[in-house]
Amino acid sequence: MPKPKPQEGEDPDPTPYLFVSLEQKRIDQTKPYDAKKACWVPDEKEGYLLGEIKATKGDVVSVSLPGGETKDFKKDQLQQVNPPKYEKCEDMSNLTYLNDASVLHNLKQRYYAKLIYTYSGLFCVAINPYKRFPVYTQRCAKLYRGKRRSEVPPHIFAISDGAYVNMLTNSENQSMLITGESGAGKTENTKKVIAYFATVGASTKKADEGTQKKGSLEDQVVQTNPVLEAFGNAKTVRNDNSSRFGKFIRIHFGPSGKLAGADIETYLLEKARVISQQTLERSYHIFYQMMSGSVPGLKEMCCLSDNVHDYYFVSQGKTTIPNVDDGEECQLTDQAFDVLGFTQEEKDNIYKITAAVMHMGGMKFKQRGREEQAEADGTEEGERVAKLLGCDCADLYKNLLKPRIKVGNEFVTQGRNKDQVAYSVGAMSKAMFDRLFKWLVKKCNETLDTKQKRQHFIGVLDIAGFEIFDYNGFEQLCINFTNEKLQQFFNHHMFVLEQEEYKKEGIDWEFIDFGMDLAACIELIEKPMGILSILEEESMFPKATDKTFEEKLNNNHLGKSPNYLKPKPPKPGQQAAHFAIGHYAGNVPYNITGWLEKNKDPLNDTVVDQFKKSSNKLLIEIFADHPGQSGDAGGGGGAKGGRGKKGGGFSTVSSSYKEQLNNLMTTLRATQPHFVRCIIPNELKQPGVIDSHLVMHQLTCNGVLEGIRICRKGFPNRMVYPDFKLRYMILAPAIMAAEKDPKVAAAKCFEEIGLDPDSYRIGHTKAS
């Protein structure tokens, strides 16, 4: 019978995208299966193929493959196949055989059946469908409200609701860690989580007149997205809307579980993108939104032309994105500023500073004769920059070309050559954009602070996953190190839960700390005389170079630290790496070119001083905490993460990153965590297509296989005694039938079949 079509205004039925249909279950469970013959064998294209064992000779097994051919494999290459009753299983930790092939097969089959969420013990695995499924509607949210995880199919809403209920019942802060590669759907899942909490914790009170323009808190939490995405998201090779920063969004709730505010903390915006992009990538969306001309008067105010290629900083890669209307997005960003309560002056200044960054890319300089001194090559763009920033154009050029620097107690004028000036303009542009971004986050947080009583929070962490590229630089080390710490946190948390289960069941068990597995790599990076500490030290030496930095790393770690490795020779056309690190998810080669400069991130102090006296109030505010030449770091109003004074020196990028990461880990350790792993199914952005090797690589990188490995070290398969008796009666029918108590029956069954006592345990309520 055909299903009734949804009425006008009614949400479509989500069940086909959540449950395996009865019809499909019947088909799955009638598949032929012989436990002794069925096996998984490795395959170049598919990852693994289902084969049938034909003959075994010593260590070599002949296996018949789907196409009819027979191939020989070594015994240890084969993996066992689960019975058909586990086909498209909702929680993979229940599988009889927890091996890589079975995990991949289960995820693939569910994905082909449009089931994008699957559990793997403590993980919720989400595979990007590259299509809009009706699984985030109000109707769908109602299915999950107040339900236990085991009562409803896997979904991000089930994890969210579990966190909400735990917060209320245990009076404990919660966190949701959403990680994955670029394009895996982290940001989309984060948005859905926030929308769910906004709905569940929505206040029933009507907003008073004064807050009408600003909108309700639920609206505001959702409205921070367009602003942060415009200034912090960009197109990468894999993803058209990739967050180039990490964020931890805390949703605060009052004593009765109603929304009471929110705040956002951001990590490590990728500044390099502001002034340079790869050919298939694009810079931050805001630049192209402003070029669209959809907000009346905006381009005129910002002195922008109609051709994006007039602005070198933002036109080195792609300048448009298929199926994205920058004009429409610009209007949404502009409206979001209004909902968040920005004044017209603040909005204008945000646009002016952003446009000034674009114009700075067009400032031209030439070398003067034979001197080591540059001069302006036309001042047209500089005049626009000065106008937008509210400062004097002639002074701006003078400060860039001949800055005053302090030598002892004297100030002297230093001549700069063409390259030095160009570098200085680039550094200034990156700093302006970065500080503007941090100020926007601060403003969003002020808006989201309702002054209501906050009792507990649920934090949602949306952060780049572990990745290995052809070229891995400083930013990649930071991202991979963050993931190493998060994986250690997961391992530790998982086994704390496992030990509790064993304790509850009265099981004899030798404690294993799986967090220790990652300790050597973490220490190599963060301990005194580790990689970051040597980088910090070298950044303080005026004469240090990439070469001295590399030598210091090798002297301290090569042959001494097991995780510090010699890199493999590069493939043709690739840049050579200087060293490699053995991370939990694989060996990553790193190239250290330019790390010292990136870490110091020096700014032209004379220009900073000029900015601090400009007529653009926002420019003054974002540089307020920069000491400039005078060493006066003004009131704290500006963005954090500037070069504040630190022990007489200045704060480097790596030291502020380490501080941020430590604060994040401290916050997470004080919460009850929930883990969501997002997966990109293929590089083609096509629905319903799985690239097996790509998915296996991610399952390794994001710790799902690591979690399963830990699970298998313990006793992953647990069964309550009545079920055990029913299922395994066939093994010792006479003894088990004669025994009324199912627990005693299970114990006798194990003895009867002569199972190794180390491989099973008899608990209070379950056999494992």
| 466 SS3 class | coil
Nearest one of 80, 91, 94, 92 to 48, comparing CA atoms: 80
686 φ, ψ (degrees, to nearest 5): -105, 135
DSSP 579: E
Which pair of structure tokens corresponds to residue 247?
């964020």
Say whether 235 counts as a known binding-site residue.
no
DSSP 80: E
Which pair of structure tokens corresponds to residue 409?
């107690």
Q: What is the CA radius of gyration of the chain?
A: 29
Q: Tell me if 490 sits within 8 A of 668, measured CB to CB.
A: no
DSSP 4: P
DSSP 324: -
Phi-psi region of 529 (alpha: psi -120 to 50; beta: other; left: phi over 0): left
Nearest one of 764, 735, 740 to 751, comparing CA atoms: 735
Say whether 585 counts as a known binding-site residue.
no
Nearest one of 529, 541, 549 to 594, comparing CA atoms: 549
Give the contacts of 703 (CB within 8 A, at least 6 positions apart): 123, 487, 490, 491, 584, 585, 677
Say whether 257 counts as a known binding-site residue.
no
What gap in Å lies between CA 691 and CA 694, rounded to an integer?
5
Torsion of CA 213, 219, 221, 227, to 10 degrees: -60
Q: Tell me if 700 sits within 8 A of 201, measured CB to CB.
A: no
What gap in Å lies between CA 497 and CA 492, rounded to an integer?
9
| 151 SS3 class | helix
Q: How far is the CA of 346 from the CAs of 213, 334, 336, 342, 440, in angstroms?
A: 16, 12, 13, 6, 10
Pairing of strands 79-80, 233-234: unpaired
Q: Tell me if 51 sits within 8 A of 42, measured CB to CB.
A: no
Q: Tell me if 295 sits within 8 A of 330, measured CB to CB.
A: yes
DSSP 613: T
Say whether 182 counts as a known binding-site residue.
yes
Residues in the chain: 768
| 416 SS3 class | coil
- Written as one string, the DSSP assignment of 50-66 is EEEEEEEETTEEEEE-T
Say whether 754 counts as a known binding-site residue.
no
What gap in Å lies between CA 79 and CA 42, rounded to an integer?
9
Say whether 642 counts as a known binding-site residue.
no
Q: How many CB atoms lie within 10 A of CB 442?
A: 19
Q: How far is the CA of 460 from the CAs of 182, 249, 676, in angstroms?
A: 17, 5, 10
Q: Estimate the share of the chain in helix, then strand, then coil, as percent rounded to the nearest 5.
A: 45, 15, 40
**Amino acid making up residue 293:** G
Helix (H) or strand (E) holding 179: strand 174-180
Long-range contacts of range 719-728, CB-CB < 8 Å, 24 or more positions apart? 719/766, 719/767, 719/768, 720/765, 720/766, 721/745, 721/746, 721/765, 721/766, 721/767, 724/749, 724/766, 724/767
Helices 546-557 and 531-540, axial angle in degrees (round to 10):
140
Which residues does the annotation mark as catalytic? 182-183, 187, 239, 242-243, 465, 467
| 485 SS3 class | helix
187 φ, ψ (degrees, to nearest 5): -65, -40
Say whether 573 counts as a known binding-site residue.
no
What gap in Å lies between CA 126 and CA 111, rounded to an integer?
10
Rounded to 5 degrees, what angle do the CA atoms 697, 701, 702 make? 120
Say whether 739 counts as a known binding-site residue.
no
Binding residues for ATP: 180-187
